C-alpha cells in the first residue's frame, strides 16, 4: 500500500471536479484528482455535449425539409443516423483534450485513474494508494435513475449513457420521462426519422412555467411526437424490437426501443461516506450554505450535493468552495440567479422565480411584463417568431425571467446577470442593442415595464404640456 499527502483531494473528474482541480493547482495548492471512469464526466461523454450535437443533426435535417419559406426549395433532409452519431463522437473528441488527463497533469495535478472511497475522515483509498488530504472535494455527479417498474429488468432499454452508442435508428422510440432530457431526445429523434412517443407520469416539462412549456409541447406535437401525459408506467414487457409499456390507467403503448429518462440519482454508493462522518439526505450529500458536509474537511459540489443538477451549477460550486478552501474566506452558494435551458426548438429558459412562484412570494407587489417574438424584426426575418418572454418585476427589479423561443438559452444570460447583481429594470432599458438582433427582445421587455409609466401617465403628459408651453 502506497501513502501520500496533499492539500486538496478531488474525487470525480466531471465539470465541478475539474474546475476545482484546475483552479486550486494554479493558485499554488497541491492537488490529487481521482477518476475511476472517463475524464470529463457525464456532461462531456453522455450528457450536455453529445445531446446538443445530436440535436444539431436533427436541426439540420429539419431545416432542409422546411426551407421553402426562405425561397429555397425543400429537400428530403434524409438523415444517416450512424453518420449523425459519428458527428456526436467527433464533437466529443474535439472537446476531450480540454478535460484530458494529460492537460491536468500538465497543470500540475496528480491524476489517479481509480475510484476512491473513504477509510477515515481525512483519508481516501484509491486502488493501492491511500491519500491523506487537508481538504477533500466530492464531485462524483449523478447517474440515470432507473425506477422499479415491473418488467423493466427483463427488457432492453437505453439511458443517456448508452443512447449515443446506437448506430441503427430506432423505428419507434418510447421515452419514459417528459423532462428536458426526454423532450430534447424526442425532438432530435423524430427529426432524424424515428417515430417517438413520450410517456410522462405527470405533466411534461412540469418544472417549467406551464404557459411557456405548452409552446414547446405544441411544437413537438406538430412535428409528430406523441406525448402521453398523466401516464404512469405500471408494467413493461416484450423484447428487443417489440416493447410495450402499460400505464396505470390502462393505456398500452408499443414501440421498438425504450429510453429511460425519468431523472437522476447521486453517485454516493462507492464512497463509504460513513467512514468519513459524512451524512446524506434523500437527494444526495448533506451540505451547508458553503457546500461543506457534516465533516468540515469535506465538501460536496455539483449533482452529488443534491440541489440543481446542471453542469454550470457544478462549475459555480467550484468557485464557491475555492474561495473557502484556499483563502479561508466566507463563501456561500446561492440559487436565485442560476439559469437553466431546455434545448428543444423552440428553446425554453428560466432564471429566478416563475410567475406562479413570484405571485406566491410577492403577491400584489408583482408586475409581469411580456414581449412577443412577433414584434422582433430579426425574428421576423429569420421566420422564428414563435415564442415570448415574460419578466417578473418587484419594485423595479427583476426577480425572475421566463423565455420560450429562438435562442432563449442565449437571451436568459442577461437576466441571470441582472439577478446576480441585483440590477434594476432601468439598467436593462438603458442598454443599447444593435439592430436587428434577437437580443432586442430583452431590451423591449424592459421597455414594456416602463411604457405604461411614460405613455399612460397623466402627470407625464401635464409636464410635457407645460414644458412645451413655457420653455422657449
At 79 the pLDDT is 95
Binding site as annotated, residues: 52, 116, 140-142, 177-184, 200, 263, 303
Residue 66: is it exposed, middle or buried by C-beta count within 10 angstroms (0-12/13-18/19+)?
middle
At 467 the pLDDT is 77
28-53 residue pLDDT tens: 999 999 999 999 999 999 999 999 99
Quickly state the pLDDT bin for 249 (edges 50, 70, 90).
very high
At 453 the pLDDT is 74
118-144 residue pLDDT tens: 999 999 999 999 999 999 999 999 999
Binding site as annotated, residues for FAD: 52, 116, 140-142, 303
At 11 the pLDDT is 98
Quickly state the pLDDT bin for 472 (edges 50, 70, 90).
confident
At 38 the pLDDT is 95
Residue 71: is it exposed, middle or buried by C-beta count within 10 angstroms (0-12/13-18/19+)?
exposed
At 455 the pLDDT is 65
At 192 the pLDDT is 98
At 130 the pLDDT is 97
- Residues sharing a CB contact under 8 Å with residue 261, sequence separation 6 or more, in sequence order: 144, 159, 160, 175, 176, 177, 179, 181, 182, 185
If you average pLDDT over every residue of the chain, what do you get? 96
Q: Return the closest-CA partner of residue 137 out of 330, 255, 6.
A: 6
- pLDDT at residue 454 above 70? no
Q: For the residues 49-76, what does the mean pLDDT come to?
A: 97
Q: Is 31 helix (H, G, I), strand (E, B) or coil?
A: strand
At 196 the pLDDT is 98
Q: Return the closest-CA partner of residue 362 out of 313, 407, 326, 395.
A: 395
71-121 residue pLDDT tens: 999 999 999 999 999 999 999 999 999 999 999 999 999 999 999 999 999
257-304 residue pLDDT tens: 999 999 999 999 999 999 999 999 999 999 999 999 999 999 999 999
User: Please, what are the domains in the chain?
Assistant: 2-39+100-143+265-327 (3.50.50.60), 152-263 (3.50.50.60), 339-455 (3.30.390.30)
321-346 residue pLDDT tens: 999 999 999 999 999 999 999 999 99
Quickly state the pLDDT bin for 452 (edges 50, 70, 90).
confident
DSSP characters for 70-138?
A: GTS--------HHHHHHHHHHHHHHHHHHH-HHHHHHHT-EEE-S--EEEETTEEEETTEEEEEEEEEE
Binding site as annotated, residues for NAD(+): 177-184, 200, 263
Amino acid at each position: 500500500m502506497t501513502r501520500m499527502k496533499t492539500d486538496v483531494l478531488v474525487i470525480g473528474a466531471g465539470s465541478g471536479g475539474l474546475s476545482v482541480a484546475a483552479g486550486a493547482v494554479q493558485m499554488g495548492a497541491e492537488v490529487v484528482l481521482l477518476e475511476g471512469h472517463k475524464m470529463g464526466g457525464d456532461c462531456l461523454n453522455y450528457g450536455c455535449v453529445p445531446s446538443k450535437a445530436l440535436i444539431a443533426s436533427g436541426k439540420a435535417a429539419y431545416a432542409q425539409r422546411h426551407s421553402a419559406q426562405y425561397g429555397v426549395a425543400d429537400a428530403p433532409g434524409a438523415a444517416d443516423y450512424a453518420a449523425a452519431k459519428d458527428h456526436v463522437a467527433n464533437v466529443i473528441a474535439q472537446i476531450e483534450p480540454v478535460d484530458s488527463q494529460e492537460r491536468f497533469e500538465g497543470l500540475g495535478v496528480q491524476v489517479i485513474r481509480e475510484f476512491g472511497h473513504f477509510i477515515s475522515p481525512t483519508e481516501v483509498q484509491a486502488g493501492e494508494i491511500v491519500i491523506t488530504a487537508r481538504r477533500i472535494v466530492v464531485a462524483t455527479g449523478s447517474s440515470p435513475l432507473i425506477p422499479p417498474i415491473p418488467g423493466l429488468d427483463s427488457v432492453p432499454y437505453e439511458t443517456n449513457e448508452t443512447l449515443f452508442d446506437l448506430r441503427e435508428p430506432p423505428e419507434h422510440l418510447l421515452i419514459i420521462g417528459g423532462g428536458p432530457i426526454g423532450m430534447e431526445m424526442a425532438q432530435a429523434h423524430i427529426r432524424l426519422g424515428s417515430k417517438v412517443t413520450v410517456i410522462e407520469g405527470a405533466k411534461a416539462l412540469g418544472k417549467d412555467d406551464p404557459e411557456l412549456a405548452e409552446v414547446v409541447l405544441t411544437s413537438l406535437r406538430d412535428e409528430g411526437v406523441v406525448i402521453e401525459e398523466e401516464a404512469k408506467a405500471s408494467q413493461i414487457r416484450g423484447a428487443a424490437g417489440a416493447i410495450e409499456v402499460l400505464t396505470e390507467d390502462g393505456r398500452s403503448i408499443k414501440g421498438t426501443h425504450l429510453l429511460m429518462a425519468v431523472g437522476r440519482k447521486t453517485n454516493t454508493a462507492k464512497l463509504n461516506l460513513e467512514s468519513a462522518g459524512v451524512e446524506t439526505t434523500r437527494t444526495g450529500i448533506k451540505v451547508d450554505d458553503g457546500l461543506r458536509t457534516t465533516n468540515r474537511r469535506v465538501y460536496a459540489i455539483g449533482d452529488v450535493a443534491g440541489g440543481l443538477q446542471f453542469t454550470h451549477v457544478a462549475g459555480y460550486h467550484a468557485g464557491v468552495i475555492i474561495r473557502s478552501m484556499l483563502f479561508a474566506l466566507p463563501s456561500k452558494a446561492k440559487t436565485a440567479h442560476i439559469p437553466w435551458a431546455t434545448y428543444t426548438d423552440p428553446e425554453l429558459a428560466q432564471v429566478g422565480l416563475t410567475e406562479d412562484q413570484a405571485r406566491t412570494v410577492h403577491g400584489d407587489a408583482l408586475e409581469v411584463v411580456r414581449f412577443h417574438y412577433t414584434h422582433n424584426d430579426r425574428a421576423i426575418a429569420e421566420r422564428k417568431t414563435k415564442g415570448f418572454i415574460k419578466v417578473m418585476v418587484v419594485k423595479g427589479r427583476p426577480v425572475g425571467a421566463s423565455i420560450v423561443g429562438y435562442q432563449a438559452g442565449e437571451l436568459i444570460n442577461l437576466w441571470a446577470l441582472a439577478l446576480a447583481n441585483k440590477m434594476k429594470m432601468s439598467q436593462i432599458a438603458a442598454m443599447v442593442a444593435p439592430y436587428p438582433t434577437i437580443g432586442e427582445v430583452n431590451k423591449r421587455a424592459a421597455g414594456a415595464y416602463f411604457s405604461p409609466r411614460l405613455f399612460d401617465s397623466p402627470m407625464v403628459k401635464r409636464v410635457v404640456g407645460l414644458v412645451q408651453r413655457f420653455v422657449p
